[in-house]
């Protein structure tokens, strides 16, 4: 498996409606922080996650979080 590409050294702060989302784990997606299929051949798969109620979340863009898909501040150490 290859290393993910750092899309940004900050989180994406988004308001999400209830539903299932696919978080880009490889960093190649042009629709960050969501998967657009650009991971093909990278050995890294997107992470599906579900939101139960409307919520403001911080999604990781550095791809090094220990709590995917949510930001844990790992971008500050890169």
User: pLDDT for 12-61, tens place per residue?
Assistant: 999 999 999 999 999 999 999 999 999 998 899 999 999 999 999 999 99
Residue 25 near residue 4 (C-beta atoms within 8 A): yes
pLDDT band at 2 (very low <50, low <70, confident <90, very high): confident
The pLDDT of residue 31 is 98
The pLDDT of residue 12 is 98
Token pair 């709590």 in the structure block, residue:
67
Per-residue pLDDT at 1 exceeds 70: no
Per-residue pLDDT at 73 exceeds 70: yes
């Amino acid at each position: 498996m290859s290393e993910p590409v750092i899309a940004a050294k900050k989180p994406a702060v988004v308001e999400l409606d209830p539903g299932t989302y696919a978080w880009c784990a490889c960093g190649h997606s042009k629709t960050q922080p969501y998967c657009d299929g650009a991971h093909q051949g990278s050995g890294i798969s997107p992470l599906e996650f579900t939101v139960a109620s409307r919520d403001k979340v911080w999604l990781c863009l550095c791809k090094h979080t220990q709590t995917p898909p949510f930001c844990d501040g790992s971008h500050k150490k890169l």
